[in-house]
């Protein structure tokens, strides 16, 4: 019983679908007949499939899926160019903006290492250049004075016990001298100062401390008369003979960059003098706001041209490999597949899925799908894809049950000459110059007459025109009144075929009127 009910339900559904389909095609037929009755010249009885291949979009009806047939004239209009798949050695230059920074390994800090009071400053300004061994400041420190006296006493004691017959006594005196001397050395008292101390034989009230490094003073926190502690940083000295450049590189370019690669930088005021360096480090984190990664470049700094915090232009040279390559424009990227069109000759283009590697210098590296020497469409891939899809659709329609082309009524090119239509109280007559509409630039002319036969001169007229096919955009043009109710404008029909033209007429105080026309552009 359940099975019987199921068959009944299926029968009702199929019957309903058949009635709906019949009603739809009957309605379409009625609409078509009305259009034909208004414009007898706009349609003709095709009779059979013969000649269908000459119609736009019909050329590929018997072709394999994904194949487009484009005549040489159409290729010229579409801007189709071809290229040969060939091996190329491609390189890449990554350009970025960078900021000069101190080489952190060359930044040094100076401390006194002993508590005391600053007696005199020899380097008293930030930015001053100091050499290693140059005096920085002199300091009075009770600890230094006491240790000097201790050293002198240990020295004198050793000299008096040097002739002792007891080895332990002699060794103990020598150890005291060495301990005192080491303590002074750890407080950065130089060998020369120790020799001077021994010669004078008395402790010095102040001792001078010398710079252990060469470079520029980038920070100074010391003044004459101030008390300093052993843990206080007094000077920061930076060696600027070599600097870092932190370049901001987009995350998409990071896979190309390796440590050790050549990196050139130039200054905005001296672009013709690049300074050569290398990539020394790639930071392991991303700036979430700018979507960039910092790449550290190391650069020698002759003449100290590069100053910290200065902006520079960086170029990182990526060495290339020899790989099969195709132009970037040849690829149609759908997001899930990458398609190119093989030129099979005689206007035949076949869609081919390919595997691609990195893009360099406007070319993609090919990893699969193409062979060296094959010819492909190097441009207009989107238009070729539209043409191939249209061919597939027409082929599928031709193969549908009940969709035989025998006896079908199809739109055919309109005859040359003016087309007249009634729109409300107005008579609109559309014509072109030249009289036979051509592919390319034409002059659209609209003659407007009122119900009494007088020309209308106070209207605003605009045209919209397009072809009903994938990828075509709607073009617009405003017309100007020339004389006796005649409005003209220029229109460019990009290719041969039937164009839908919509005319809009606006008059003061009256409702806007729109009327549709069909024009067929010839080659």
pLDDT one-digit tens code per residue, 338-378: 888 888 877 778 888 888 887 877 788 888 888 888 888 77
Both tokens of 19, joined, read: 């009635």
User: Which range among 35-39, 290-294, 456-460, 464-468 shows the weakest confidence by mean pLDDT?
Assistant: 35-39
Contacts of 470 (CB under 8 A, 6+ apart): 386, 389, 390
Give the pLDDT mean for 388-397: 52
**DSSP category for residue 21:** H
Residue ranges of E strands in 59-115: 67-69, 82-84, 86-101, 107-111
Q: Quick one: which of 49, 61, 112 has its CA closest to 395?
A: 61
List the structure tokens of 262.
């050549």
Q: What is the pLDDT of residue 170?
A: 64
pLDDT at 437 over 80: yes
The pair of three-digit structure tokens given for residue 215, joined into one six-digit string: 């470079």
Q: How far apart are CA 202 and CA 211, in angstroms?
A: 25
- Residue 346, phi-psi category: left (phi > 0), alpha (psi -120 to 50), beta (remainder): left
Is the model's pLDDT at 242 over the cut of 90? yes
Buried b (16+ CB within 10 A) or exposed e, 29-42: eeeeeeeeeebeeb
Is 322 in contact with 363 (CB distance < 8 Å)? no
For range 204-211, the mean pLDDT: 86
Residue 406, pLDDT above cutoff 50: no
Instruction: Tell me the sheet residues that pair with 490.
Output: 443
- Residue 82 · residue 326 · CB < 8 Å: no
Which pTM was predicted? 0.50
110-144 pLDDT per residue, tens: 988 888 999 999 999 999 999 998 999 998 888 88
Neighbouring residues of 17: CB distance < 8 A, sequence distance ≥ 6: none
| Tokens 């800090």, residue located | 109
Backbone dihedral angles phi then psi of residue 181, each to the nearest 5 degrees:
-65, -40
Complete DSSP assignment for 171-196 = HHHHHHHHHHHHHHHHTT--HHHHHH
Both structure tokens of 461: 């007229």
pLDDT, one tens digit per residue, over 307-326 is 999 999 999 988 777 888 88
**H-type helices in 371-446, by residue range?**
381-398
User: How many Cα atoms are found within 13 Å in the side-chain-facing hemisphere of 479?
Assistant: 31
pLDDT at 510: 87
Q: CA angle, corner 374, sides to 372 and 377, nearest 5? A: 130
Q: Residue 51 — very low, low, confident or very high, per pLDDT cuts 50/70/90?
A: very low
Between 276 and 23, residue with greater pLDDT: 276
Kindly state the tokens that stand for 224. 């004459």
CA angle, 34 as apex, 29 and 37 as ends, to 5°? 125
305 φ/ψ angles, rounded to the nearest 5 degrees: -65, -35
- What is the SS3 assignment for 220? strand
How many residues in total does the chain contain? 523
Q: Give me the half-sphere count of Cα atoms (radius 13 Å) on the Cβ side of residue 249.
A: 29
pLDDT tens for each residue of 491-503? 988 888 889 999 9
For residues 119 and 205, what is the distance between their CA atoms, to the nearest angstrom?
10
| Average pLDDT of span 78-101 | 85
Interacting residues of 231 by C-beta distance below 8 A, sequence separation 6+: 111
pLDDT at 405: 41
Smallest CA-to-CA distance from 357 within 261, 255, 259 is with: 255
Lowest mean pLDDT among 42-51, 149-158, 481-490: 42-51
- Residue 266's H or E segment, with its range, is strand 262-267
Q: With beta carbons less than 8 A apart as the criterion, state whether 475 and 465 touch.
A: yes
Q: Which residue has the tokens 């480090």?
A: 281
């Amino acid at each position: 019983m359940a099975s019987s009910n199921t068959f009944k339900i299926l029968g009702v559904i199929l019957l309903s679908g058949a009635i709906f389909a019949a009603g739809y095609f009957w309605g379409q037929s009625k609409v078509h007949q009305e259009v034909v009755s208004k414009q007898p010249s706009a349609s003709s009885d095709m009779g059979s499939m013969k000649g269908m291949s000459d119609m736009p979009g019909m050329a590929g009806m018997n072709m394999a899926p994904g194949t487009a047939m484009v005549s040489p004239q159409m290729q010229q209009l579409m801007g189709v160019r071809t290229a040969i798949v060939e091996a190329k050695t491609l390189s890449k230059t990554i350009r970025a903006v960078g900021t000069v920074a101190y080489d952190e390994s060359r930044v040094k800090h100076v401390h006194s290492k002993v508590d005391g009071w600053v007696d005199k400053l020899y380097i008293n300004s930030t930015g001053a250049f100091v050499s290693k061994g140059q005096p920085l400041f002199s300091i009075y420190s009770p600890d230094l004075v006491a240790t000097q006296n201790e050293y002198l006493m240990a020295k004198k004691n050793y000299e008096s016990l040097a002739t002792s017959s007891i080895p332990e006594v002699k060794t103990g005196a020598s150890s005291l001298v060495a301990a005192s001397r080491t303590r002074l050395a750890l407080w950065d008292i130089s060998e020369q100062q120790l020799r001077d101390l021994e010669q004078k034989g008395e402790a010095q009230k102040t001792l001078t401390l010398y710079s252990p490094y060469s470079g520029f003073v980038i920070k100074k926190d010391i003044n004459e008369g101030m008390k300093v502690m052993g843990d206080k940083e007094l000077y920061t000295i930076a060696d600027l003979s070599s600097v870092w450049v932190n370049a901001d590189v987009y995350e998409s370019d990071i896979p190309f960059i390796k440590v050790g690669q050549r990196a050139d930088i130039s200054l905005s005021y001296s672009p013709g003098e690049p300074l050569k360096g290398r990539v020394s480090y790639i930071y392991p984190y991303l700036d979430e706001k700018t979507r960039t990664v910092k790449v550290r470049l190391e650069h020698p700094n002759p003449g100290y041209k590069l100053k910290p915090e200065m902006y520079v232009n960086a170029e990182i040279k990526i060495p290339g490999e020899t790989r099969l390559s195709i132009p970037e424009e040849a690829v149609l990227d759908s997001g899930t597949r990458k398609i190119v069109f093989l030129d099979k000759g005689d206007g035949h283009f076949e869609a081919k899925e390919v595997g691609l590697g990195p893009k360099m210098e406007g070319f993609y590296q090919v990893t699969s799908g193409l062979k060296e020497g094959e010819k492909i469409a190097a441009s207009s891939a989107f238009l070729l894809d539209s043409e191939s899809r249209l061919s597939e659709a027409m082929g599928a329609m031709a193969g549908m049950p009940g969709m035989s082309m025998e006896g079908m009524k199809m739109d055919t090119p309109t005859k040359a000459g003016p087309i007249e239509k009634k729109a409300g109280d107005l008579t609109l007559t559309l014509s072109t110059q030249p009289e036979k509409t051509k592919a390319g630039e034409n002059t659209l002319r609209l003659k407007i007459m009122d119900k009494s036969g007088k020309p209308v001169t106070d209207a605003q007229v605009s045209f919209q025109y397009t072809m009903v096919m994938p990828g075509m955009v709607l073009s617009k043009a405003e017309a100007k009144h020339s004389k006796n109710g005649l409005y003209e404008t220029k229109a460019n029909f990009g290719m041969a075929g039937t164009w839908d033209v919509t005319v809009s007429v606006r008059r003061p105080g009256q409702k806007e009127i729109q009327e549709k026309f069909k024009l067929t552009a010839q080659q």
